[in-house]
Chain A
Amino acid sequence: MLPLLAEMAADPATGMLLADSDSGAIGIAFPFLAGPAVFIAVYVGIYRYYRNTDKRHHFEKETEVAVGNLKQGDRKVGTNNRQKSRTMSGVNSTDHLERVRRIQVR
Chain B
Amino acid sequence: MSVPPQGPQWARPDQPRRQDAPAGGPVPPAPAGQPLRPGQGQQGPGAPAPADGRFAQPAGGGAAQHSAPQFPGAEPPQGAQPPQGAKGAQRKSGQQPPAMLGDEAVAGAAEALRKHSSNRIIDTSSGRADGLNKCPRCGGTDIQYSLTAKALVCAYCRHSWNEENAEKAFGLDTSIAELQGHTMASGTADIQEDLTTMTLKCQGCGAEVVINVEQQLQARCHWCRQTLSINSQIPNGAVPDAVLPFHLTREEAIERIEAFADKRKAFAHPRFKAEFVPDNVMGVYIPYMVVDGNMHAVLQGTGEVTTRQYTVRRKVGKDNYVTETYYDADVYSVQRAFDLLVDDLTVESAERFDAKDNAQATNNILNAVQPYDTENAVAYNSNYLKNFTSERRDLNVRDVDDQVEEKFLAIARAKASPTIGRYDRGVRWEQEGVAVRGTRWVSVYVPVWLYSYADSAKGQDSLTHYIAVNARNGNTMGSVPVSHPKIFALACAAGSVAAVIGAVVGFGWFLAG
Contact = CB atoms under 8 A, between A and B. Distances in A.
* Pairing of A with B: yes
26 contacts: A24-B513, A27-B506, A27-B507, A27-B510, A30-B505, A31-B498, A32-B502, A36-B495, A38-B499, A50-B264, A59-B407, A60-B407, A61-B414, A68-B341, A70-B419, A71-B54, A73-B55, A73-B333, A76-B331, A83-B328, A103-B300, A104-B58, A104-B433, A105-B69, A106-B61, A106-B64
B105 interface: no
Secondary structure of the B contact surface, majority rule: mixed
B510 A28 contact: yes
A47 B77 CA distance: 50
Interface residues of B, number: 123
Interface stretch (B134-142, B213-221, B421-429): B421-429
A103 B431 contact: yes
Given A34-B502, A87-B425, A88-B304, A103 B58 contact: yes
Nearest to B483: A50
Interface centre among A2, A37, A90, A103 (most CB of B within 10 A): A103
Interface string A65-106: 111111111111111111111111111111011011111111
Given A34-B498, A39-B494, A106 B428 contact: no
A69 B443 CA distance: 30
Contacts of A36: 495
A101 B430 contact: yes
A10 interface: no
Contacts of B304: 80, 88
B406 interface: yes
Given A30-B506, A64-B344, A74-B333, A39 B491 contact: yes
Interface in B459-513: 477-482, 487-488, 490-492, 494-503, 505-513
B365 interface: yes
B298 A105 contact: yes
Return the 9 tightest CB-CB contacts between A and B, nearest first: A24-B513, A27-B509, A30-B506, A35-B499, A39-B495, A91-B426, A34-B502, A102-B71, A27-B506
A103 B298 contact: yes
Interface string B324-356: 111111111111111111111110000000010
A66 B335 CA distance: 19
A50 B267 contact: yes
B70 to A, nearest CB: 7
Interface of B: 35, 41, 43, 50, 53-55, 58, 61, 64, 68-74, 77, 176-177, 264, 267-268, 296-298, 300-304, 307, 316-317, 320, 322, 324-346, 355, 358, 362, 364-365, 367-371, 406-407, 409-411, 413-417, 419-420, 423, 425-435, 477-482, 487-488, 490-492, 494-503, 505-513
B214 to A, nearest CB: 28
B71 to A, nearest CB: 3
Contacts of B414: 60-61, 96
Contacts of B68: 104-106
Nearest to A5: B499
Contact of A74 (B43, B303, B329, B426): B303
Contacts of B296: 69, 105
A67 B339 contact: yes
A83 B503 CA distance: 34
Interface string A18-57: 0110111111111111111111101100110111110111
Nearest to A82: B326
B427 A93 contact: yes
A82 B301 CA distance: 22
A99 B71 CA distance: 13
A42 B490 contact: yes
Contact of B491 (A31, A42, A65): A42
Nearest to B422: A74
Contacts of B413: 60, 93, 96
Nearest to A79: B330
Contacts of B268: 50
A39 B337 contact: no
Contacts of B369: 57
A73 to B, nearest CB: 4
B431 A28 contact: no
Contacts of B35: 102
Given A27-B505, A106-B53, A70 B336 contact: yes
A11 interface: no
A34 B499 contact: yes
Nearest to B59: A104
A81 B407 contact: no
Nearest to B317: A20
B434 A105 contact: yes
B25 to A, nearest CB: 29
Nearest to A101: B431
B95 to A, nearest CB: 31
A7 to B, nearest CB: 15
Contacts of A70: 336-338, 419
Contacts of B358: 53
